[in-house]
Chain A
């Protein structure tokens, strides 16, 4: 028991940074900069975009369109494009949706460090659990914010 407690209480350093999403120009990000969260050198959101571009081009086009639209618009009211998690435990986390498609890209807003949309992870409709994908986004958001409070 004592051994477990020691294990849980020990701390591990984790590197976090924001990376650019290639192929988005200044006009696409006139209102919001769009970035992907990278943890320990890996970005689930960017990896998903790269995979969709290769294997699911129709869904990728739809997600990219939503990215371009939201990057250049402060607010998107259309829930077929941007939807907030309906689970109140998740707080302010959202998904970009491929309308009539399967791809979903989870994100949150950072309005204190600029005006940034931070893409965290993906969800493929019909595979896995959407609520869990939002929960992952929320947890990654918490890591990001704790890091930013430490290094403003």
Chain B
């Protein structure tokens, strides 16, 4: 645990913020972990997560390639409405593995399935066929702790 020294005004703000926050007991944490593990064993939830994972991958690939939904739908030969339903995770659209393979191929991606046993995890290592040219490592120019907030902000991923 680290300590930060704050002004009395900030301390009062923190006190106010935390006054209604209940402390977390060991029992709460155990019960929360148990509920989380139960969710990971629920086929409906797991399927929902995988479906979302697929959509996230499609959206990221579209962003990477600078391709818009209407362009992708045209390339795929499907209506924009159908693609939109997939991307919005519309519960009425229950797409097949065939649909997933087709859609990913439009984006130069492949679908792979893995079947780990319970308790095992699979990790994907993305390898490039050709090592791109990278600038030489220069430790002199590396500053792990920027002096002002702007440099910190610059190092963040462009998520939004």
Q: Is the CB of A73 within 8 A of B121?
A: no
> In the complex, what's the smallest C-beta–C-beta distance from B83 to chain A, in angstroms?
14
Q: Is the CB of B157 within 8 A of A30?
A: no
Interface string of B120-146 (1 = CB under 8 A from A): 011100000000000000000000111
Distance of A146 Cα from B3 Cα, bound (Å) = 10
Specify which of A8, A72, A80, A112 is in contact with B155 (CB 8 Å cutoff): A112
Q: Is the CB of B7 within 8 A of A9?
A: yes
With a cutoff of 8 Å between Cβ atoms, the chain A residues found around residue B23 in the complex are 41-42
Query: B55 within 8 Å of A by Cβ?
Result: yes
Query: Count of B residues near A, CB < 8 Å?
Result: 60
Interface string of B19-51 (1 = CB under 8 A from A): 001111000111111111101100001001100
Q: Is the CB of A17 within 8 A of B1?
A: yes
Query: B158 within 8 Å of A by Cβ?
Result: yes
With a cutoff of 8 Å between Cβ atoms, the chain B residues found around residue A77 in the complex are 56, 59-60, 62-63, 159
Within 8 A of B (CB), among A131-152: 136, 139, 143, 145-152
| Pairs across A and B, CB under 8 Å, 21 listed | A10-B8, A11-B6, A15-B2, A16-B4, A22-B32, A25-B40, A39-B18, A47-B22, A47-B24, A61-B39, A65-B45, A75-B157, A82-B160, A83-B160, A111-B155, A111-B156, A112-B144, A112-B145, A143-B6, A147-B3, A150-B4
